[in-house]
Amino acid sequence: MIPHRSNRSRRALVPAAALGAALAFGAPAALADTAPVSPSGTGAPASAAAPQAAAAASPSATWVAGTRAYLVITTPGDTTAVRNAVTANGGTVFQYYDAIGVITAHSASASFAATMRGVSGVQQVGATRTSDVPADAYNPALPANPAQSTTPSGEPVRADMTQIKADQAWAVTTGSASVKVGILDTGVDDQHQDLAPNFNAADSASCAYGKPDTRTGAWRDIGTHGTHVAGTVAAARNGKGVIGVAPGVKISSVRIAEPGSSLFFAENTVCGFMWAGDHGFKVTNNSYYTDPWQFNCPDDADQAAIIEGVRRAQEYAEGKGSLQVAAAGNSNIDLANKTTDTESPNDSTPVTRTITNACLDIPTELPGVVTVSAMGTTAKASYSNYGLNVIDITAPGGDGTGIYSTLPGGRYGSKSGTSMAAPHVAGVAALLASTNPAITPAQLRDKLATQANDIACPSDSRCKGTTARNGFFGEGQVDALKAVGSTPPPGTYFENTADFAIGDYTTVESPITVSGVTGNAPATLKVGVNIVHTYIGDLKVDLIAPDGTVYTVHNRSGGSTDNLGRVYTVNASAEVANGTWKLLVNDNARGDTGRIDSWNLTF
């Protein structure tokens, strides 16, 4: 069983690779990214905890030099009195969350934190930066919307997908469109040909600076990292480019990296987790650490407040049904035996300091977060962090060749790192949630553990533990096929991934031509249906055999539930298998529309 406590360290941001190229180490940002691959080319917020906490407490302020950001921690509930104290003591309230008792405040007063720590009802106060809040925080510029290149048809299955048996799991499910995965990162290029089919703009935002920005495009990528991660989770199965682990689920972008620095400060992370909880994300991917401290130590007042604020936000998201998956980091260090931090603070001048295991890499080492190390093909990736009872599970991260995925502008490229391993696990978690719609975060953690394939320690004294659980691989390598049912359905598999629009009071059909199957269809013909449509109670869905026989699989049940994604079993033993089968969908009411996203037959 994966324990509720999980550790992950974050890594450096890697520049995006040109089409087909790989990445090398990049600038010192908080991304859990990249080990060296062949050098070439160019190389995630949140919202209101509860309705009353969603809005910022004050209008945009006028920026002045010396403005710093603080987390002010108080009792969850009505934070009015503490917010008033912020204003009375030389600060402004930038954002607040009554549900968790966390306020993001700005102040240019050097005594602000010390003064607020003496205010009644204030539990902790901590500066989240050692540098000024950028002026852009008060009037953020929208990220660029890159021109899109096109890619010739062709969608080979990647080696990393075969390694975790995702390609076999797709015969069971490609994931449900009702499952939302949040990409908390540098942003996502929602226009990319391989991401647009699965992108959920309605639940996307920017949390840069610690306040939700829902303007169209605010969620777009300020680098390349988030787009690459998104492709590994859920690039569409559309005959182009690449296929993600869960190509049928929906992805939302919550940009928590700030432009210019590409750093992920605590208020941004808090915002991201609150947004995830309030917007129904079943899984979030977190391939970063919370800047500017690689490790936050509880004996430092500022860092203690960061730990508490982010912890409360993660707990809130989990309480709303969201599982957080995070990357372990690429410094090749033992997270179970911390001694030194040489990278912090990374927003000013790093210093070398002695640390202990009480100092946490967050959000990775927070309770409930699943920590992911990286593998090459068979061994721990050379760069991956490790640690007994810290690493929960492992997945391919690329070690030499890199993980090939989407890049902004319709491009593709390779990156290596635990940043690339984590989205494999997030994708498998999304497949699990697709086949178990009522599953809880705790149950998801347990299932990820039980389905993992054990990997024994190599002849390496750094690897502690047993074959069943050790410091290099945790519970083992994630296995998508075992996660969704252990074996693929027997028989030949056919699929139509083309979209067919479903309008009001219309009937549409999607064909599949079956050939090469001997005799009749089985008595247990598997019919996988993925329909994106609000209010599925409007729909009647029939399977039409080649001779015209009608088999009804869904008849206006489900009421106001959105989206139909499940596998039906049909006794079609009276039908000749070969020929053209059709999925017929009839909309019987006004006001809700959608599309046949994909469907499949397994004989």
Instruction: State how far the Cα of 241 lies from the Cα of 235, in Å rounded to an integer.
Output: 9
Residues 600, 493 contacting (CB under 8 angstroms)? yes
Instruction: State how far the Cα of 76 lies from the Cα of 583, in Å rounded to an integer.
Output: 51
Instruction: State how far the Cα of 275 lies from the Cα of 238, in Å rounded to an integer.
Output: 29
Instruction: State how far the Cα of 511 lies from the Cα of 56, in Å rounded to an integer.
Output: 51
Residues 452, 445 contacting (CB under 8 angstroms)? no
Instruction: Copy the structure tokens of residue 600.
Output: 């499949």
How many residues are there in the chain?
Answer: 603
Instruction: Copy the structure tokens of residue 568.
Output: 């039906």
Report which of 248, 233, 223 is spatially closest to residue 160, judged by C-alpha positions.
233
Q: Which of 33, 98, 160, 185 is catalytic?
A: 185
Instruction: State how far the Cα of 104 lies from the Cα of 465, in Å rounded to an integer.
Output: 41
Instruction: State how far the Cα of 29 lies from the Cα of 288, in Å rounded to an integer.
Output: 8
- Whether 419 sits among the annotated catalytic residues: the reply is yes
| Residue 558, Cβ density class (10 Å: 0-12 exposed, 13-18 middle, ≥19 buried) | middle
Instruction: Copy the structure tokens of residue 393.
Output: 């599970």
Q: CA triplet 238, 241, 246: central angle to 5 degrees?
A: 60
Q: Which of 98, 107, 178, 225 is catalytic?
A: 225
Helix (H) or strand (E) holding 125: strand 122-127
Residues 310, 318 contacting (CB under 8 angstroms)? no
Exposure string over 462-494, b if 16+ CB within 10 A, otherwise e: bbbbeeebbbbbbbbbbbbbbbbbeebbebeeb
Residues 6+ apart with CB under 8 A from 84: none
What does each C-alpha distance from 558 to 508, 509, 536 come to in angstroms?
20, 21, 6
- Whether 300 sits among the annotated catalytic residues: the reply is no
Q: How many CB atoms lie within 10 A of CB 108?
A: 17
Instruction: State how far the Cα of 16 lies from the Cα of 404, in Å rounded to an integer.
Output: 11
Instruction: State how far the Cα of 462 lies from the Cα of 385, in Å rounded to an integer.
Output: 11
- The letter for the amino acid at 57 is A
Q: How many CB atoms lie within 10 A of CB 509?
A: 13
Instruction: State how far the Cα of 123 lies from the Cα of 305, in Å rounded to an integer.
Output: 9
Q: How many CA atoms lie within 13 A of 294 on its CB side?
A: 30
- Whether 185 sits among the annotated catalytic residues: the reply is yes
Q: Which of 419, 434, 510, 598 is catalytic?
A: 419
Residues 6+ apart with CB under 8 A from 104: 69, 70, 71, 72, 93, 94, 95, 96, 210, 211, 267, 270, 271
Report which of 230, 225, 309, 232 is spatially closest to residue 273, judged by C-alpha positions.
309
Residues 6+ apart with CB under 8 A from 80: none
Residues 271, 94 contacting (CB under 8 angstroms)? no
Instruction: State how far the Cα of 472 lies from the Cα of 335, in Å rounded to an integer.
Output: 11
Question: Which positions are annotated as active-site residues?
Answer: 185, 225, 419
